Structure 1
Amino acid sequence: MIGLLFFALAVLASPLKSKMRLEAENAVLRHQLIVLRRRLPGRVQFANSDRWFFVQLYRWFPSILQVLTIIRPETVICWHRSGFRYYWRWKSRSLGGRPQIAVGLRALIRQISVENPLWGAPRIHGELLKLGFEVAQSSVAKYMVKRRGPPNQGWRIFLRNHAPEIAAMDLVVVPTVGFDLLYAVVVVRLDRRDLVWINVTRNPTAEWVARQVTEAFPWDEAPGYMIRDRDCIYGTIVTRRLRAMGIRDKPTAPASPWQNGFAERLIGSIRRECLDHVVVFGEAHLRRILRSYSRYYNDIRTHRSLDQDAPVSRPVQRTGSIKSFPILGGLHHHYARA
């Protein structure tokens, strides 16, 4: 009964519709019957031609949504939007122009921009030209690392810039075979972690420590700052000697060995790699051992913080047979090509 009522209303309203609109609705109804007569298993399958047919008629006559029965109106709208995206993707396709730069060059641009936060696109562009890369400045600006704030250096760069002017010193207590105590002073530069001075005594005094500072740094090679702890051995004589050499004294806070981390790390290496494996017989014996280890530490031992290089940079050897040279009686070995 309700179906007949809707049919009657459609018949009464049909004279009010245009002829083209009626033909479009009839075409949609006929095409729906064609799709249903395919008798494919499962859900109703639509080909791309079917989608194009419904979408094109929907563009011309949006009223066909009222006669769609096998698909929902929002499905046709979704097809139309997908076709719109595909169309403009095709319209926006690349028709040539400037070729893309290589992936390796993009990585190099990002690396340079990360390592040099104060450089802009013109500076990086000039550096690439000197390296033999023909690239536009706009491409450099495109592949640079984008920063939110103003360019600035990090703590790593800040400390690396100041490390050549900073040195650190500390004392090491070493027991002998007779349970006597010997004292060794170590002085290290923070720039290359090189052990610039090491010496041994039985009775350390402020005068002796001041003399070691003088012997560690010639007058034209003194650092700008000296980090030390607050041991009472560093008396007025030491502070006066530092001031006379143009070195600013920087004592650490009380009970804060972490503030002198470079010297503490060096002392730990000396203990783990040398002193924990030998029995010291006397002052001369300890001095000889520590100076041998100092040569090994500066000239041979590689450091992760120096990109696997020694404080005194070692050349890379690629030719020759490999030979082993014992150090500290065979506790360590040095490998070189001969």
Structure 2
Amino acid sequence: MQSLLSELFSWLACRFRGRAELELEVIALRHQLAVLRRQRSGRSQLFAIDRLIWVWLYRVWPRFLNVLVVVKPATVIQWHRQGFRLYWRWRSKSGRPSINRELRDLIWQMSEANPLWGAPRIHGELLKLGIEVSQATVAKYMVRRQGAPSPSWRSFLRNHAEGIAAIDMFVVASASFRLLYVMIILAHDRRKIMRTAVTEHPSEAWLSRQVTEAFPWDTAPPYLLRDRDASYGAYFRKRIEVMGIKDVVTAPRSPWQNPYVERVIGSIRRECLDHIVIFNERHLRRVLSSYADYYQRTRTHLSLEKDCPDSRPIQHRSVGRVVAVPRVGGLHHHYERLAA
């Protein structure tokens, strides 16, 4: 009796197992037929749902590969492995506690501003700020870069600005309609006016002497940027070569290639000379000296983060009341706090 029951149960199991396999085979064949009906230009068009159905059939019925004809069996196995990797990647991410938006933005800003830093360096900076976070979390929210890290053009130019100076000249008409030539030398790093000079007849020897007096001893920059004015003749080029300065000449009619000194000349005109009638050479020297002092010690610059070439200290409210000090003959004012 017991053997008869066991044979009956085994027959029923085989019966149901065969019926389930038959139904799965029908599903697989019908789905492949539907895919073939979508065929366009001799190639089957597959969607994500097709791949999911075939991967599911392979999971529940491995012999499904024997009836698959639309794609190769190895392709379905590859889809299954990819889905397995995506599933566990999602599981590993969902298991890690998330951090707040402010900290994620801070990690992103550090990585963006410091392209040469890796996750250990940023993690160390966060620890010094009292922020407890794992190094793996820092690596997760860093900027993704392709290839070797590279600094931005802004930081690259700032690192090289210290070794560059520029020279240029402009003309000022006096009250008697005499033309006076103004020479200006500007250091690029802090936009500092190194020297201004005035003459009625610029020459190679005069320009060479101005460069020598602007950079005494070993303070000469490696590069001097200038235009193609005929006043910078052979004598001038020989003098700066002896000083160890490399002459960098802009292209013809391209003042935009020497922008910093051109911007300073424009500021001198707009903020000073356009509002004054120059009487003579001596008067022009005095006006330029007053404006250069204002430019160096008082006037704030956007390129220096609202600071001056000669950095101004910040005066707090507790020092005293604010007073205005006239500069450049009253054209501009300097504001500072006086102790009560």
Q: TM-score, normalised by structure 1?
A: 0.70
Q: 5+ residue gaps in structure 2?
A: 1-15, 17-86
Larger mean CA deviation between 253-262 and 99-108 belongs to 99-108
- 1:136-191 residue CA offsets vs partner (Å, 9 max, x unmatched): 11111111112233311232222111100000010011000000011111011111
1:293 CA displacement: 0.5
Residue of 178, 181, 185 corresponding to 2:179: 181
Structure 1 residue 206: deviation in Å? 0.7
C-alpha deviations, 1:285-313, integer Å up to 9, x for none? 10010011001111111111111111111
Measure, in 2, the Cα distance between the counterparts of 1:126 and 1:94. Answer: 23
1:222, CA displacement in angstroms? 1.0
Q: CA deviation at 1:98?
A: 6.1
SS at match of 1:213: helix
Change (3 A) 1:336 1:92: same
1:192 is aligned to 190
Partner of 2:337: 337
Q: How does 1:119-138 map to 2 (within 5 A)?
A: 119-138=117-136
Q: Which amino acid aligns with 1:149?
A: G
Moved over 4 A (4+): 91-95
| Local SS of the residue matching 2:110 | helix
1:273 equivalent among 256, 265, 271 = 271
Number of the residue aligned with 1:75: none
Q: How does 1:146-161 map to 2 (within 5 A)?
A: 146-161=144-159
Give 1:255-334 correspondences, 5 Å limit: 255-319=253-317, 320-334=320-334
Tell me if 1:245 matches 2:237.
no
Say yes or no: does 1:225 pair with 2:217: no
Which residue pairs with 1:55 in the alignment?
none
**Secondary structure in 2 matching 1:119:** coil
Pick the structure with greater CA Rg: 1
2:108 equivalent to 1:110: yes
Q: Which residue of 2 aligns with 1:254?
A: 252
For the aligned residue pairs, the C-alpha RMSD in angstroms reads: 2.1
Q: Helix, strand or coil: the match of 1:289?
A: helix
Q: Percent identity?
A: 57
CA separation of 1:285/1:98 partners in 2, compared to 1, >3 Å: closer, same or farther? same
Query: CA offsets, 1:208-264, max 9 Å, x none?
Result: 100100111122211110000010101111111111111111011111111111111
Question: 1:99: how far off?
Answer: 4.8
Partners of 1:93 and 1:135 in 2: how far apart? 17
- Whole-angstrom CA distance in 1 between matches of 2:138 and 2:92: 23
User: Which letter maps to 2:334?
Assistant: H
1:266-290 deviations in Å (ceiling 9; x for gaps): 1111111111000001111100100
| Secondary structure in structure 2 of the residue aligned to 1:279 | coil
Question: 1:316 Cα shift?
Answer: 1.1
Change (3 A) 1:133 1:280: same
Q: Which moved more, 1:277-286 or 1:304-313?
A: 304-313
Residues 299-333 of structure 1, C-alpha deviation per residue, up to 9 Å, x if partnerless?
A: 11111111111111111111321000111121111
Q: Match for 2:332: what amino acid? A: H
Change (3 A) 1:216 1:106: same
TM-fit CA distance, 1:105: 2.5
C-alpha distance in structure 2 between counterparts of 1:243 and 1:194, whole Å? 23
The CA distance in 2 between the partners of 1:105 and 1:146, in whole Å, is: 17
How many positions carry a matched residue from both structures? 249
Aligned-partner residue type, residue 251 of structure 1: V
* Unaligned 5+ runs, structure 1: 1-17, 19-87
SS in 2 for 1:321: strand
Distance 1:94-1:214 versus aligned 2 partners, 3 A rule = closer
Shift of 1:133: 2.2
Relative to 1, partners in 2 of residues 1:117 and 1:233: Cα closer, same or farther, differing over 3 Å? same
Counterpart of 2:162 in 1: which secondary structure?
helix
CA deviation after TM superposition for structure 1 residue 92, in Å: 7.0
Mean CA deviation greater in 101-110 or 220-229: 101-110
Q: What SS does the aligned partner of 2:279 have?
A: coil
The letter of the residue matching 1:261 is: P
Deviation of 1:110 (Å): 1.2
In structure 2, distance between residues paired with 1:329 and 1:156: 37
C-alpha spacing 1:183/1:142, structure 2 compared with 1 (3 Å): same
Which sits farther off after the overlay, 240-249 or 141-150? 141-150
Structure 1 247/99 Cα, relative in aligned 2: closer, same or farther at 3 Å? same
CA distance in 1, matches of 2:100, 2:218: 49
